[in-house]
Chains A and B, each alone.
Chain A
Amino acid sequence: MTRRFAPPRRCAAGLVAAIVAVLGSTSAADAHRLKMFVTALDGEISGHAFFVGGGRPDGVDYVVRDATGVEVFRGTTDDRGTFRWRPAAAADYTVAIDVGDGHRVEATVAAERLAAAIATPPGEPPPATTAAASAAVPASGGSAAECPAPLDPAVVAKIVEAQVDRAVARQLRPLIEAYDQAEGRIRFNDIMGGVGTIVGLAGAGLWASSRRRRREGER
């Protein structure tokens, strides 16, 4: 009867082939955890969330909260799991993504990462520093005789700092993204370590039960 249904050996071979196909198609790096990459560039908070090894949360709500936990912005991720938001004032902001099935991740952007590009008093418009920069840069580039007006060292320092912050953030971004991806990778060594631990536990269990049986036998 069983033979008519499916020869067990062929059954097993099919199952093994299916499992191998799944493992092969998704690569050993695939796993299960939601992570987030977030950065501040030119006063804008941006980044993306990703499942370690495979997929991005597509069309999921993200919420930005300030340090007191008050919601200041809510948006929806695109098909690459990305989000972006430009705050009006520099402060600590926390971005949280909740897929709705228990997958949740959040990350905080510190105020000082936004401060360089955003004027500290919230009332002042953010382009203030940019305007100062465009005015100041040609002045310093021109001949000194034509433009003797001395620049305020504090303003220059601010402009330089903002430009350096921007350049460093731009250069570091791919590096941090790659690091986040690599950190979440599943390593073969770890998998074998886990399997080895289970084998060890089984050995310990067998040893304990054989000792117990021997002691009972002696009695």
Chain B
Amino acid sequence: MAHIPDGVLSAPVLIGGAVLAAGGIAVGLRALDEASIPKTAILAAVFFVASLVAVPIGPSSIHLLLAGPMGLVLGVAAIPAVFVGLLLQAVLFGFGGLTTLGVDVVDIAFPGVILAAGVRPWLARVAGRGPAAAAIGGGVAAAAVIGTAACVAAALALSSADHLPSLRVIAVTYLPLAVVEAVIGGFVVPFLMTVKPEVLGLSPAEGAEP
């Protein structure tokens, strides 16, 4: 799925992905301060472990990506977090290749980060309203999965005619994942908003119960 192995993508796609990912990691590291390092590490560890667990579905198998919630909580710092998780998975378990690391980081982290940045103003506006926050959290999580699917399909299609992505397989595998991630995002975001709104970048008063 989002762990593309070595030898599938072409050099221009690999280099483009690596450059984008390196830029994203640099921006993400610059945004890290003492207060945000622990939560970045915790979410990197959660991503690392959660995306190891795969469930067979259709002709393929799927696992959680959690890009939406990561983007909402970490912002651009989600990019280095995803990079560390993917690097460890590649080195320890051989999931995804080392040459494809850049493309995989772009595929997984960028949609979540961009979508989360887009909805952040709305998040402050719905503070304290559970269902609305759940809708935003679920929507971002599901849309991030669709974004990842689109990025993976684009990377495969740009690389070679031999590896043309099968739209049927991608639809069969990513759509159920989008639903599952929407449920998780829909639970996590209102929960964090009530319990610890500063994690989502809101001031404590904004998220407090009326």
Contact = CB atoms under 8 A, between A and B. Distances in A.
B121 interface: no
A195 interface: yes
B163 A104 contact: yes
Interface residues of B, number: 67
A102 interface: yes
A31 B54 contact: yes
A139 interface: no
Contacts of B84: 197-198, 201
Contact of A101 (B54, B85, B88, B169): B169
A114 to B, nearest CB: 24
Interface in B90-123: 92-95
Nearest to A98: B163
Contacts of A105: 5
Given A101-B165, A197-B88, A213-B34, A32 B44 contact: no
A123 B56 CA distance: 44
A102 B1 contact: yes
B60 A31 contact: no
Given A1-B129, A59-B59, A195-B49, A33 B93 contact: yes
Interface string B162-192: 1111101110011000000000100110110
Given A11-B191, A198-B48, A202-B38, A99 B59 contact: yes
A210 to B, nearest CB: 7
A6 B165 contact: no
Contacts of A59: 59
Interface stretch (A38-46, A49-57, A150-158, A162-170): A49-57
A51 B27 CA distance: 35
| 10 closest Cβ pairs, A-B complex | A55-B56, A100-B166, A5-B130, A202-B41, A32-B54, A100-B169, A194-B88, A51-B61, A102-B4, A54-B56
29 contacts: A2-B190, A5-B129, A8-B191, A12-B191, A15-B184, A19-B50, A30-B55, A31-B63, A31-B95, A32-B54, A34-B5, A54-B54, A55-B60, A58-B59, A98-B162, A98-B163, A99-B60, A101-B165, A101-B169, A190-B93, A194-B89, A194-B92, A197-B84, A201-B41, A205-B41, A206-B38, A209-B32, A209-B34, A210-B34
